[in-house]
Structure 1
C-alpha cells in the first residue's frame, strides 16, 4: 500500500515538474519572438550599375556591381525616400573614387570593407540607422578592350 502511495506522489511530482518546464519554455520562446518582432528586416536588391574605372587619364574598364541590402522595416517607414537610391549613389561614388578600395589592384579583404563602408555612408546620409547590412550580389570588372560598342552600320 505504501509503495502505491509513494508511486502516486512520485507521478504527481513528475507531472507538476513537466507542466512547470513547459510554461518556462513557452515564456522564453515568447520573449525571443517579442525581441524579433521589435526589428523586422526587409531585403532589397539594387539594379546593376556600371562604373567607369579611370587610370592614367583614360578609361581602363568598367565595374559592374549589384547589391542586396537589408533594411529595418520600422525605420524604413520613418524616412520619405527609397534607400536604394542612396545605396546606388554611395556605391558609385565609392567605386569611382576608389579611395577605400583600389579596383585596379584589388584584394579579397577589400570586399567586406566595401560593403561595410556603403552601409555606414548611407546611414550617415539618412541621419539614422536604416540599412542593417549590405551584401555584394555581383561585382565584375570588364576591361575596356572587352566592351562591345554600338553596332556598326
Structure 2
C-alpha cells in the first residue's frame, strides 16, 4: 500500500515538474514581447453580420452576393465611434455590387483584393483618420436566383 502511494506521489511530482518546465520554456523573450504588443496590442477583429446584395440584370434579380466580413480596428478608435462601423461596410459593399454587373459571370470572377481596397478606402473617407486597417473574408459567395428558387421548392415539398 505504501509503495502504491509513493508511486502516485512520484507520478504527480514528475507531471508538475514537466508542466513547470513546459510553461517556463514557452515564455517569449523580452524582444519578442515588444513585437507582439505593437502588432497585436490594441487591435480588435470584429465580424459583420451576414448580409446580401441583390445583383440586378435586365431589370430583375439574377442572384445575391452573400457576405460576412471581418475588419480590424484600433481599440481606442472603436471606443470613440458613435455609429457602428458595420453600417459603413455594408454600404460600401452594396455600392460596389448593386447595379454594377450586367452579366452574372462577371460577379463570379470578382477580384476581392480590388474590392477590399476600395471598401477600406471608401470607409476611411468618412473619417478624419483611417479607421479600418484591414478587411478579411469570413464568407463571400454568389447564389443565383435559380438556386434560391430550387431550395425554396425543395423546402416546400418537405413540409
* TM-score bracket for this pair, using the shorter chain length: 0.5 to 0.7
Superposed displacement of residue 127, structure 1: 3.1
1:89 aligns to what? 91
2:122 aligns to what? 121
Paired residues, number:
125
Q: CA RMSD in A?
A: 3.1
1:79 aligns to what? 81
Length-normalised TM-score, structure 1: 0.67
- CA–CA separation in structure 1 for the residues paired with 2:109 and 2:146: 24
The one of 60, 63, 69 equivalent to 2:62 is: 60
Superposed displacement of residue 98, structure 1: 2.5
Length-normalised TM-score, structure 2: 0.64
| Change in 2 beyond 3 A, CA 1:92/1:29 | same
Superposed displacement of residue 58, structure 1: 1.6
Moved beyond 6 Å, runs of 4+: none
CA contact (8 A) 1:69 1:134 kept: yes
Structure 1 residues 31-68: Cα deviation after superposition (integer angstroms, max 9, x where no partner): 6467x189611011111111110112221111111111
Q: Which segment drifts farther, 104-113 or 77-86?
A: 104-113
Query: What secondary structure does 1:140 align onto?
Result: strand
1:133 aligns to what? 134
Which segments of 5 or more consecutive residues in structure 2 lack a partner in the other structure? 1-28
Which segments of 5 or more consecutive residues in structure 1 lack a partner in the other structure? 1-24
- CA–CA separation in structure 2 for the residues paired with 1:58 and 1:70: 35
Query: What secondary structure does 2:125 align onto?
Result: helix
1:112 aligns to what? 113
- CA–CA separation in structure 2 for the residues paired with 1:53 and 1:147: 13
- CA–CA separation in structure 2 for the residues paired with 1:31 and 1:141: 42
